[in-house]
Amino acid sequence: MDTSRRVAQLSRHFDASKITTSPIKVLVTGAAGNIGYSLVHMIGQGRLLGPNQLISLTLLEVPAAKDQLEGTLMELRDCAFPLLRELKGTTNLQEAFTGVDIAILVGARPRGPGMERKDLLGANAAIFKDQGQALDKYANKNVKVLVVGNPANTNCMIAAHFAPSIPKQNFQALTRLDQNRALSILGQKLNVNVEDLKNVIIWGNHSATQFADLSHATLRKDGLNVSVRGILADEEWVQKVFTEQVAKRGAAIIDKRKASSAASAASAVCDHVHDWLLSSDKDTIVSVGVITDGKKYGIPAGLCFSFPCITRDGNTQVVEGLKWDTFAQQMIARTLKELQEEQEMAFNTIK
C-alpha cells in the first residue's frame, strides 16, 4: 500500500456526517484481550475499511472477562470515533453473531502450563465449532470471516466446517502478520523502505513451520521493480536466518515484551480485511490462509493453507503457477504435514 493511500485512511480529519452508505456490522471476538483491545481502536479510526465506511461494532467476550469488556467499551466511547455509529458488547453468541457482515475471530484458548498440543487443539476446536455453528445460524450468509486466534489455520478450518451454509471462500486465516514481519526483516537487511518491497509470500501454517518465500519478491529501485534474489546473494541468510526470524518473530516479541504481539497483529488484521473487501494494490501478492479445494499446488482439500493471493472487491484468487525449488518443497512439505496432524487431532477431539 503506497504512503499517500495509507495516510488518507488513517486520517481522522473527515466529516462522517456526509457519509451516505449504511453501516457495516463488524464483530470482534476476544475484544477485551491483548490483540482485540488494539484492534477495536484501529477499527474506530477507520483502519479496517477506510474513512468513508460507517461501522456498527460488536465486541464479544467470555463471561469471565465481562468487566474488561465494559472497560474497553468505555474507552471506545471516550475516543468519540465518528465512524462508530453503533457500539455494543455482549457475552452471548446469538446476540454477537446475528446479522454480522464481518466476523474477526480473535478470541482463543491460550496454551496453559502443562497443556499438551492435542489438548490445546481440542479446547480451541470446541470454541470454533460453537462459533462456526453461530455463524451458520445467525450471520449474514455472505459474511466474511477472518480467524486470528491460534492455531489460526486449524481454527479457521473448524469454523468453516461447522458453517456449511456459508461459502468456504468466505473463511480466511491471518498470515498477513507473518508477511508484514517478513517485509520488516527484509527491509532492515537491505536498508530500504518496506513500501518499496512486495510479493514476499507466506506458505502454509501460521506457526513455526511456516515458509517465508523470497523467490518472487521485488524491490522498487530507480523506478523499476528488481528481483530481491538478484541483489541478495546470501543464501545462508535467506534459508536459515530470514526464514527462522519470520517464523519465530512472535516468540521473540514475547521474550522481550513478556506479552504477545498486539498492535502488529491488529494492524495486520486491518491490512487483511481492507485488501480483502476493497482490493489489494495492483499486481501485489498478499498472503492469505484459505480453505483448500485440492486443486492448488498439490495441497489436499479441506485444510486452511496460506497461499499467495490477489484480492479484488471481496474475492480472493490464489496465484497459480509459481515454481518451488528444492528448499521450498522441503519447507512446504513440513508445514503441510503439521497442518494435517492438527486437522486430525482437532477433529478427533470433537467427534
Q: What residues are labeled active site? A: 206
Smallest CA-to-CA distance from 315 within 174, 158, 144 is with: 144
Beta strands 102-105; 144-147: pairing state: parallel
**Ramachandran angles phi, psi of 234, nearest 5°:** -80, 85
Beta strands 224-227; 218-221: pairing state: antiparallel
